[in-house]
Chains A and B, each alone.
Chain A
Amino acid sequence: MGQVSGENVSKNTGASKLHNTLVYMKQHWQLYLIFMLPAFVLTIVFRYLPMGGVLIAFMEYNPIRGILGSQWVGFDHFARFLSSPDFMRYLMNTLKLSVFGLLWGFPIPILLAFLLNRILSSKTKQKIQLVLYMPNFISVIVLCGIVRILLSPTGMINSLFRTNINFMTMPSAFRTIYIASGIWQGAGWASIIYTAALSNASKELKEAAVIDGANIIQQIKAVEWPAIKDTVLIQFIMSVGNIMSIGFEKAYALQTDLNLGTSEIISTYVYKKGLLDGDYGFSTAVGLFNTVINVILLISMNKIVQRLNEGKGI
């Protein structure tokens, strides 16, 4: 049925195309008014209206006067942020945290998937997976609570090494703590997608490789890596696209007054400036700056991957 009406449309002129659409909408009004409407309204109100709200990045926003009554200040907030001595520090903290996090965190799930794939008994494999996936279900608050008590001067790590170091107050330890706890929590779960891709690898191809006397390294090169290559690329683009949107929740929960030198990132700064200090316009400008960098990164990353991957991107 869909095909027939499709042919009609292609023969018709623009006006009757519109007519066809209206007839379709009338016939299938439920699709629009019942199925689509709630999602449409939520998207417009809670996603698009705030996008309009970024205008206050260019205003001295006054909550009482609202957007229409507040004064325009152009790029003043951006200039203030970019010229402030802390700007470079927040930007570098954000970039370092996510880039190092990606460098350490990205390969480990792939490695885990290769290792799991080599477990001979499927029962053992299931039990291992159960343990590996569990930390993913722990909340950020509980995770950071665990980190804090294990690393406290009287916690597990210190009593293991008979030391008395307060890691949570050391700026130099923050990134390691953040990244290692991220791997602890997320690497197992992140491996699930590679494990699935590996189990789709052709068994015959692998058996053929084994008969040809291929060793493990050769099998990985010839059979397993090609099976997961596309998944790895997509995951990589997604991760790079999210580099600047690095989670507020965890960084904020691992911050202490003394480790702010490395733990203050753009998103926590936006929160403090905006909601705690009430500097709405400035805070929005900082957030917008972050989004713009993120979009540039995502687009350029996609371009690079398209070039490397014979025109295929996302």
Chain B
Amino acid sequence: MEKKKKSEFSKYPAEDKTILIIGYVLLGLFILAIILPMIYIILASFIDPVTLQNKGLTFDFSKWTLTAYERIMSNKQIWVGFRNALIYSVLFTIISVVITLLAAYPMSRPDFKGKGFFNTLFVITMFFGGGLIPTYLLISNLGMLDTIWAILIPGAFSVWNMIIARTYYMGIPNDLQEAAEIDGADEMVYFFKILLPVCTPIIATIAMWQFVGMWNSYFDAMIYLNSASKQPLQLVLRSILIQNQPEPGMVSDMQSTAERAQLAELLKYATIIISSIPLMILYPFFQKYFDNGIMAGAIKG
């Protein structure tokens, strides 16, 4: 294997080799830039707050401690955040995927009357919007403030995902539908029994994006939800990481302001690690949908 690689590389003429080496070095640097901060944060999260502040990383293991993890895990609010984020993400994914998949079906049928109208109606919303305040006032007038519906419903229909699903449906051979029609199956039967089962890759891709998107978002929750008991994880993280306000009880037993500040800093490292664990567990499962997600991903990214 190693030999084969070498021989392929040696096939290149000298000037190409230079270009290749420069290229590989650049790629290597980029990868290091991604990995190094992650390793640093993992290591730093175990280090005694005073040592971390004064000396940075150390491999003197007597200075290592689990205190940050203990304090975070024993705090209630972060678990409330995890629970809410899970509930919101699961429900949002289900609602959004159902509505989007349903709407994509008529749009994929060549004979659907009104396709042009619906298409224009939907595509316009990709470029124009009422903006923050009108949307906020609407949500408020509908009585949805500080309810889970403000998070789940307004963004449930995604035009991009509808287009992606529609394109996928259109790639399904027509004979399936003709056979179903001859058998007397109506649209509902055809859609649920025949079409959806062959579309699982794209359904999984869309579901993954909606789930990750909801799990990672904070803006809607920040403006629509006020109660602490309804906060999703990202808002809890925001107060710890961005606003420098650890949850009450995480640092309050410390005597001096300096100690509290050092501990609060250490808590940030451990918070980042703990909040990333679900993602790290799911990441390998996401991987097989990356290729399906090319369109979705490029658009979102």
Q: Which of B20, B56, B132, B241 contacts A283 (CB 8 A)?
A: B132
Which A residues are in CB contact (< 8 Å) with B223?
Answer: 271, 275
Q: Is the interface of A mostly helix, strand, loop or mixed?
A: helix
Q: Are A241 and B133 in contact (CB under 8 A)?
A: no
Cα–Cα, bound, A48→B129 (Å): 8
How many A residues touch B, CB cutoff 8 Å? Answer: 97
> Is A261 in the interface zone, CB < 8 Å from B?
no
B105 to chain A, nearest CB (A): 5
**Which listed segment binds A: B72-80, B109-117, B246-254?**
B109-117
Q: Given A53-B133, A159-B56, A291-B131, decide whether A216 and B122 contact each other with a Cβ distance below 8 A.
A: no
A13 within 8 A of B: no
Q: Which residues of A contact B31 (CB under 8 A)?
A: 128, 131-132
Contacts of A235 in B (CB 8 A): 298
**Distance of B240 from chain A, by nearest CB (Å):** 8
Contact indicator A53/B134 (Cβ below 8 Å): yes
From A194, which residue of chain B is reached at the shortest CB distance? Answer: B298
A262 within 8 A of B: no
Q: Are B133 and A287 in contact (CB under 8 A)?
A: yes
Tell me the complex Cα distance, A109–B104, Å.
31
A293 lies within 8 A of chain B by Cβ = no
Interface 0/1 of B48-69, CB less than 8 Å to A: 0000111011000000000000
The answer to whether B56 touches A25, judged by C-beta atoms less than 8 angstroms apart, is no
**Does A175 touch B at the CB level, under 8 Å?**
no
Residue of A nearest to B266 (CB): A149
A40 to B5, CA, bound (A): 55
CB distance from A229 to the nearest CB of B (A): 15
Considering only CB atoms, which chain A residue lies closest to B284 in the complex? A130
- Given A38-B157, A43-B157, verify A145-B271 contact (CB < 8 Å): yes
Asked, given contacts A131-B35, A145-B242, A275-B132, whether A50 binds B5 with beta carbons under 8 Å apart, the answer is no
Residues of A within 8 A of B71 (CB): none
Closest CB of chain B to A245's CB: distance in Å? Answer: 9
A274 to B140 Cα, complex, angstroms: 14
A31 touches B157 (CB 8 A): no
- For residue B57, which residues in chain A have a CB less than 8 angstroms away from its CB? 159
Assess the A140–B275 pair: CB atoms within 8 A. no
Q: Report if B170 contacts A (CB, 8 A).
A: no
B133 to chain A, nearest CB (A): 4
| Residue of B27, B99, B181, B217 touching A39 (CB-CB under 8 A) | B99
Nearest opposing residue in chain A for B11, CB measure: A210
8 A Cβ contacts from B118-132 to A: 118, 121-122, 125, 127-132
| Chain B neighbourhood of A270, CB < 8 A | 131-133
Does chain B have a CB within 8 A of A24?
yes
Evaluate contact between A56 and B268: CB separation under 8 angstroms: no
Contact status of A36 and B106, CB under 8 A, knowing A28-B187, A190-B301: yes
From residue B188, how far is it (CB to closest CB) to chain A in Å? 6
CA distance A36 to B109 in the complex (A): 13
- 8 Å CB contacts to A: which residues of B22-60? 23-24, 26-27, 30-31, 33-35, 37, 40-41, 44, 52-54, 56-57
In the docked arrangement, what's the CA distance between A24 and B61, Å?
76
Task: Annotate B132-148 by CB proximity to A: 1 below 8 A, 0 otherwise.
Answer: 11111110000000000
Sample of 9 further A-B pairs with CB below 8 A, known A137-B216, A142-B237, A188-B34: A28-B187, A32-B106, A121-B1, A140-B216, A142-B241, A156-B56, A216-B20, A274-B133, A288-B131
Report which A residues bind B (CB closer than 8 A): 1-2, 5-6, 21, 24-25, 28, 30-32, 34-36, 38-40, 42-43, 45-54, 56, 63, 111-112, 114-116, 118, 120-121, 128-142, 144-146, 148-150, 152, 154, 156, 159, 184, 186-190, 192-193, 196, 215-217, 235, 238, 241, 248-249, 253, 267, 270-271, 274-275, 280, 283-284, 287-288, 290-291, 294-295, 298
Some 15 contacts from A to B, beta carbons below 8 A apart, are A31-B109, A39-B99, A42-B153, A53-B134, A115-B27, A121-B1, A142-B241, A149-B41, A149-B241, A154-B54, A215-B13, A270-B131, A275-B223, A280-B137, A294-B127
